[in-house]
Structure 1
Amino acid sequence: MRIAFVSMFTEQLRADGATRRMRRVAERLAAHGHDVSVLCAQWWEGDVPEFEQEGVNYVAVTETPSATTFASKVPFALRRVKPDVIHATNSPPTQVTGAKTAARLLRVPVVVDWWAEREGDSRGASKRAARGAKRVVTPSQMVKTTVREFGVSEDAVRVVPESIDFDLIREAETDDRADILYSRHLDQYANVESFFLALAELRDKDWRAAVVGDGPERAQAEQTAADLRIDDRVEFLGELPPEEFVPIMKGAHVFAQTAAVEPFATPLLWALASGCVGIVEYQARSSAHELVVNCDRGARVTSPQELADEISAAAGHSQESLNEAFASYDHDDVIRRYETIYEDAVDDYGFF
């Protein structure tokens, strides 16, 4: 199948949850034998209009990111690619409108992958982007609710979560340097303070903690740990690839999820699959609690004090290094869900 991704931003140009998701899906589809193109703003050097990486053909629609210019040019780029299905990311929403214009001429369906609105995306433009797509894919029920509020029908929305390398978890060694873990990009939404406040409540207990991740708020997080006088028991490990953080997760007993904004809590998923007891502090703009619903090794809390209590209660759970209940989140299983959505969208399009 010829699949054309439409995304002005790519991970190489602007790394965030949406672009990481798009890159992973595009590369996995290419590995499954599909002809995959990404129509984007140019992120590579030189005058070449196209650039191939990891089996994916990147096509420059514009030389630099400009939502208006990109939206006006993307229909012409799509006509040259001639895809069987168009996969457009939701932001900026004008690129979805441009993709739909081309789709009508090419008589192919548009699937919109909805992660989150970015700063500057107008609600009206987002509503237009959500409506009229053959399918809208979201990473969680929380994001699905957002899309439904734009007027998209229940039947048009499919929840496809983020994915993990479950074979890596099965085969990895165990690193027991930490009992309690936190992992996330340390930005203004990380809310690592709740994690540290809970640990401070437990200073009379015997524990070791680690923070996996980096970002603009790391220095402030380190200062908070020092102010609470727990910095001698908290290790900041920075950004780590899965090959390095999975052993640490397999060796830990508890994973704490406190971030204020999370369309999908991927580090929590890795931790749960690695046998951790997952404790989620409920946040209105986070879907993390969805992963621990009906999970024997999971709990939801609403405050640092409750988080501390649940960390203590987690001692009642056995130490585990693998949870087969999360095997369905493996990369290959999740990419097959995308393939099914594309096939259904193409089949349905034939009826109209």
Structure 2
Amino acid sequence: MRIAFVSFETVHHRDTETNQRFRTVYELFAERGHDVHCYCAGFWAGDESTFERDDVTYHAVSTGTDARSSFLLRLPFVLAAASPDVIHVGAQPPSQVLAASWGSTLARAPLLLEWYGDDGVSDTRWTRLAAGRPARIVTPSELVGTWVRELGADGELVETVPNPIDCDRIQRVEPGEDVDVIYARRLDEGANLESLLLGLAELRGRDWSANVVGDGPERETYEQLARDLRIEDRVTFVGELDLDERIAAYRGAHVFAQTADHCVFPTEMLWALAAGCVGIVEYHANSSAHELVEGRDRGFRTTSEDELAEAILAAGDLEHRAYDEAFADYDRSAIAERYLEQYRTLQDEYGLL
């Protein structure tokens, strides 16, 4: 299948969750032998209009991110000339969705919109117009799906497709050290690690250990809080770890705690749950993390530090695992198939099959 991905800005311009998700999606199809093209602002050196990397062909619709108007004006005609089977466009900036929609009409190809929501979903004229253009909208969680519906998108066109993980990779990594509780995230103002530390302080009279994975501007503040709570001897701040190191840490841990107050999709938590951790989520209105534990025997949803402490105690009664096959539906192959199903359905609706 020839798939045209449209994103004015890519992860090669700016490393954000939204751009990482978009790259992950088109790499899923490149790995499976599809003809994958990404139409974007140029990011490579030289005057060539195309650039090949990891079986993906990047097309410079404009010379750089300073030439947004040129990108929007040229995009419909570039897409029409490309003759793709499907056009898959990112939601930011929303003006590119309208340009891709015109390109979809010229190319007679269905348009799917990827709306990740990490940059927020602002209610503007442009975002409302963007929400009404595609034949299908994909979001990473029900939370973002709700935000998009509130912009006026047809709820029947909104589908939830989570971020993928690699289940084979999890099983290949040897488990790390045994630890009772693990937390992993960039330690910034949205980490809300204090909720976990306060919950653990409620259990200072019991025997437990905890690791905090990640670094960031608030690390020293959280380390000081652990000292103030007199639990610094049992909370280890391990800093940044690469993916295999994190997987090993999750396979050795018993509980993964998610307390961040903003999260459109809890990717690290998903890796941890698939690696056998019991999931404990502190509910927040702007976080979708609770969606991963609802209805699961090895998951707890809490709303306070006291409840979080109680959940940690209750999790101790559950068996330790180093892999949970219940999360196989989140594997890269399964997520790729869910997207392909969307593409095939759209092509059928367009009479292209």
TM-score, normalised with respect to structure 1: 0.93
CA contact (8 A) 1:92 1:121 kept: no
Counterpart-to-counterpart distance in 1, 2:98 and 2:315:
49
- 1:32 aligned residue: 32
Q: RMSD value over aligned CA atoms?
A: 1.9
Aligned partner of residue 158 in structure 1, secondary structure: strand
- Please list the CA deviations of residues 183-226 of structure 1 after superposition, one character each: whole Å capped at 9, or x if unmatched: 12333322122122212222222222112223343343334334
- 1:16 aligned residue: 16
Counterpart-to-counterpart distance in 2, 1:120 and 1:63:
28
- Please list the CA deviations of residues 296-352 of structure 1 after superposition, one character each: whole Å capped at 9, or x if unmatched: 00000001221112112211111111111111111101111111111111221228x
Aligned partner of residue 253 in structure 1, secondary structure: strand
- 1:335 aligned residue: 336
Q: What's the CA shift for 1:121? A: 5.2
Gaps of 5+ in 1: none
- 2:48 aligned residue: 48
> Using a 3 Å threshold, how does the CA distance of structure 1 residues 44 and 321 change in structure 2: closer, same or farther?
same
CA contact (8 A) 1:190 1:259 kept: yes
Counterpart-to-counterpart distance in 2, 1:53 and 1:234:
42
Counterpart-to-counterpart distance in 2, 1:214 and 1:28:
29
100-109 vs 172-181, greater mean Cα deviation = 172-181
CA contact (8 A) 2:77 2:106 kept: no
Correspondence 1:55-134 to 2 at 5 A: 55-66=55-66, 67-116=68-117, 118=119, 123-134=124-135
Aligned partner of residue 238 in structure 2, secondary structure: strand
- 1:194 aligned residue: 195
- Please list the CA deviations of residues 79-135 of structure 1 after superposition, one character each: whole Å capped at 9, or x if unmatched: 343321111111111111111111111111110011116369552211111112111
Counterpart-to-counterpart distance in 2, 1:214 and 1:331:
27
> Using a 3 Å threshold, how does the CA distance of structure 1 residues 158 and 255 change in structure 2: closer, same or farther?
same
Aligned partner of residue 232 in structure 1, secondary structure: coil
252-261 vs 35-44, greater mean Cα deviation = 35-44
Aligned partner of residue 189 in structure 2, secondary structure: coil
Give the total of aligned pairs: 351
- 2:172 aligned residue: 171
Counterpart-to-counterpart distance in 2, 1:64 and 1:79:
21
93-102 vs 200-209, greater mean Cα deviation = 200-209
> Using a 3 Å threshold, how does the CA distance of structure 1 residues 187 and 51 change in structure 2: closer, same or farther?
farther
> Using a 3 Å threshold, how does the CA distance of structure 1 residues 127 and 206 change in structure 2: closer, same or farther?
same
Correspondence 1:217-232 to 2 at 5 A: 217-232=218-233
Counterpart-to-counterpart distance in 2, 1:45 and 1:321:
45
TM-score, normalised with respect to structure 2: 0.93
Correspondence 1:129-278 to 2 at 5 A: 129-278=130-279
CA contact (8 A) 2:37 2:56 kept: yes
Gaps of 5+ in 2: none
Aligned partner of residue 179 in structure 1, secondary structure: strand
Aligned partner of residue 316 in structure 1, secondary structure: coil
> Using a 3 Å threshold, how does the CA distance of structure 1 residues 169 and 336 change in structure 2: closer, same or farther?
same
Identity of aligned residues (%): 47
